[in-house]
Structure 1
Amino acid sequence: MVRDLNGPQRRLAFTLVELLVVIAIIGVLVGLLLPAVQAAREAARRMSCSNNFKQIGLGVHNYHSTYNKLPGYRTGTNDGQSWPPGFTQDSNIFNLSPLVGILPFIEQQAIWEKISNPSIENSNGTTRATTDPWPAMGPTVDGNDQYVPWVTEVQTYRCPSDPGVGAPAYGRTNYAACLGDSYGQPNGEYVWWSTTDRLADQSWIANSRAGDRGMFFARRQTAFRDCLDGLANTVMYGEIITDLGDNDKRSRAAVHQIGGASPLEHNPLSCRNGLDPERPQFWDSSVTFTTWAGAPRLRRGAQWASSFDIMGGFHTVLPPNSEVCTDAGAGDWGGVMTARGNYTASSRHQGGVHILMGDGAVKFVTDSIEAGNSASGNVTPTATNAGRQSPYGLWGALGTRASRETPDMSSL
């Protein structure tokens, strides 16, 4: 056979130009599809977050059906130790969040059994002496990273859009109890770790009724019958982000004092001068934070079992995803743990937050919700202005349980 060397030959490879064209086309397609894929994934995470809230709502309603009251905020046990209140091993010093009580009602019976019974198990794999077990209902939440339940993350309490993991927080949560539109010191008027029964103090009761305006407040358990504005008109829980160690204005509370006085009491916007002008989502380098030994955990959502307001509560004063502040001085352990701070709702979702209404409905509230006069002074927690309408517009009205307000829910 004679081979024709001058005939046409078959090409066995792409040219460089063709290869570059194919790569460019693939890059364009990926660039077009990636945002859609990311949006779909975030939509799925947002739906999962909403489902978590629905589970919490069912848990609260089942709890109420069983006990005819809501789970307590800052309730629990107390061994009578007055100081230091943060590190006792023998009680939880009245510092359990409502998320603890609903555990048996959200399919978390196993962890509830560990909490409600004495235990010798430590989180590092060791055991305590049988003569010195962890008490029933646990030790204090803060400072006890060896107590297994407190360092266990409950997935129902986590939003999948929030990437926060690990120390210094433990047992993170993205869901906080609504404390209403008063953020002064209604909860701080008593020594909260004391065994004193302030429920017998009539002046405290009167001030508490005026200042504790949300669905939850310290040392007392409300019931659905106390929600005079209607369950469908009152927020029960809201989202919060967990701190990532980046000085985010939504997750770390700046200490904001002027000459020892509290500007927060008179102007909720007063701490905005501490924001970084080049990165308004973050605090600038001049801002101070609480410096006591436990301060690394004084961040939003750091401990799900704790009812310190910065970790598990929020106020309906500033709109969602606004800055959070405290007027407790640096090193002021007791101050920052009480209600002396303005903590709003926040989330990693675009444009707003989920809220759980008293009737169990889950709604998405945008950052632009009408918040009335956000520069208005705080609702003073005294008996003289009990029942006052919220100065914080629709957002404030949603946070109060008994101000006889009928907010326009159609705008949500």
Structure 2
Amino acid sequence: LLLPAVQQAREAARRTQCKNNLKQLGLAMHNYLDTHRVMPLCLNATSKPISVHAYLLPFLDQSPLYQQIDFNNSWNAPTNAAALGARLTVFLCPSDGSAALPTGWAGTNYRANQGSWLLYGVPSTDPSNPNYNVPASNGVFIPNASLSIADVRDGTTNTAAFSEHPLGDFNNSFSSATDTFRPGTYPNTLDEAVAQCNAIDPSNLSFQGVSNVGAPWLQSYHSTTQYFHISGPNTRSCMFPPGRISTTAKSHHTGGVHVGMCDGSVRFISNSIDIQTWRAMGSRQGNEPISDF
């Protein structure tokens, strides 16, 4: 009789610590804003994708580590080896346990909100490109732009900044719930993406996409440090051609996920949240009506 109660108490403590980690990230984001007047970059035009997490380090009591990062080179440059393997508890949900990460890599359970649209990157200016005139990312941390808090026109209490995702198994020889799958289909709408993602047989390894999930935290990529508000919490993640992504928020907490809002608060969001409300939370300026969540 005692064992279930002890397990529940331990998970409650882990869940509280996870929530506190997201609060720390939210506070770091606001301190970054106070200093720089804009949000940190998510991806930059030089194709050297250093994560939002790296830019927040000075505001997480990690200035010495921040000073070791070579922002003029890629995340996997030899000059960034020390940061690449730096394990930070503020980036890790204690409910996730320990993953078998590649040597020299440290991971994160926390992701930056890219928004509630499919395109990963920026729309093409070439009319012959399938991503020509496709809507751009509408989240808080977007490619090639640093937004101000004034750009969050839907209101900071209604707009997500961060959420969570378990670390992957880093093994492409089998499929697991943390993987990002590759259906090979071409969705044009959010609902098409969700339906096509859910329709695959995950045990069929031909649909295997990415198992290297959540590491390294230094890399800005959809499978490492970003997520989207397309499919609801704790649903399957998928990647589609040409450059369309639905990486979901997930957790090992029963019933939902933590979401750090742009006002610095942290909400626990149920798996059963209305999908339109979830998508509205991911958009910074959609003017969507948001019901209680």
The interval holding the TM-score normalised by the smaller chain is: 0.7 to 0.9
1:302 maps to amino acid: A
Q: Which residue number in structure 1 is paired with residue 252 of structure 2? A: 348
Structure 1 position 360 matched with structure 2 position 264: yes
Structure 1 position 307 matched with structure 2 position 226: no
Indicate if the aligned counterparts of 2:175 and 2:205 stay in contact, CA closer than 8 A. no
RMSD over equivalenced CA pairs, Å: 2.5
Across the two proteins, how many residue pairs are aligned to each other? 282
Q: Which residue number in structure 2 is paired with residue 39 of structure 1? A: 8
**Identity over aligned pairs, percent:** 29
Residues 401 and 96 (structure 1), Cα distance of their counterparts in 2 relative to 1, 3 Å cut? same
Structure 1 position 247 matched with structure 2 position 175: yes
Deviations 1:361-403 (A, max 9, x none): 00000111111xxxxxxxxxxxxxxxxxxxxx10011110001
Structure 2: which 5+ residue stretches go unaligned? 127-131
Aligned equivalents of 2:165, 2:79: Cα separation in 1? 22
TM-score (normalised: structure 1): 0.64
Aligned equivalents of 2:78, 2:95: Cα separation in 1? 27
Deviations 1:120-161 (A, max 9, x none): xxxxxxxxxxxxxxxx32642247697110121211111011
Residues 146 and 112 (structure 1), Cα distance of their counterparts in 2 relative to 1, 3 Å cut? closer
Residues 185 and 100 (structure 1), Cα distance of their counterparts in 2 relative to 1, 3 Å cut? closer
Structure 1 position 257 matched with structure 2 position 184: yes
Q: Which residue number in structure 1 is paired with residue 101 of structure 2? A: 167
Indicate if the aligned counterparts of 2:123 and 2:133 stay in contact, CA closer than 8 A. no
Q: Answer 1 or 2: which has greater strand percent.
A: 2
- Could you tell which deviates more after superposition, 265-274 or 99-108? 265-274
Structure 1 position 64 matched with structure 2 position 33: yes
Aligned equivalents of 1:138, 1:157: Cα separation in 2? 23
Residues 50 and 404 (structure 1), Cα distance of their counterparts in 2 relative to 1, 3 Å cut? same
Residues 211 and 190 (structure 1), Cα distance of their counterparts in 2 relative to 1, 3 Å cut? same
Picking from 282, 286, 292, the partner of 1:403 is 286
Q: Secondary structure at the match of 2:115?
A: coil
Q: Which residue number in structure 2 is paired with residue 184 of structure 1? A: 119
Deviations 1:153-186 (A, max 9, x none): 2111110111233333821111111111101345
Aligned equivalents of 1:404, 1:340: Cα separation in 2? 23
Indicate if the aligned counterparts of 2:151 and 2:285 stay in contact, CA closer than 8 A. yes
Aligned equivalents of 1:140, 1:110: Cα separation in 2? 19
Structure 1 position 285 matched with structure 2 position 204: yes
Structure 1 position 216 matched with structure 2 position 138: no
1:403 maps to amino acid: G
TM-score (normalised: structure 2): 0.88
Residues 289 and 219 (structure 1), Cα distance of their counterparts in 2 relative to 1, 3 Å cut? same
Indicate if the aligned counterparts of 2:48 and 2:73 stay in contact, CA closer than 8 A. no
1:273 maps to amino acid: A
Q: Secondary structure at the match of 1:311?
A: coil
Question: Where do 1:218-237 residues align within 5 Å?
Answer: 218-237=143-162
Residues 66 and 143 (structure 1), Cα distance of their counterparts in 2 relative to 1, 3 Å cut? closer
Larger Rg: 1
Q: Secondary structure at the match of 1:45?
A: helix
Q: Which residue number in structure 1 is paired with residue 195 of structure 2? A: 269
Aligned equivalents of 1:105, 1:263: Cα separation in 2? 39
Q: Secondary structure at the match of 2:161?
A: strand
Higher relative contact order (CA 8 A, sep 6+): 2
Residues 324 and 65 (structure 1), Cα distance of their counterparts in 2 relative to 1, 3 Å cut? same
Question: Where do 1:70-81 residues align within 5 Å?
Answer: 70-75=39-44, 78=46
Residues 94 and 288 (structure 1), Cα distance of their counterparts in 2 relative to 1, 3 Å cut? same
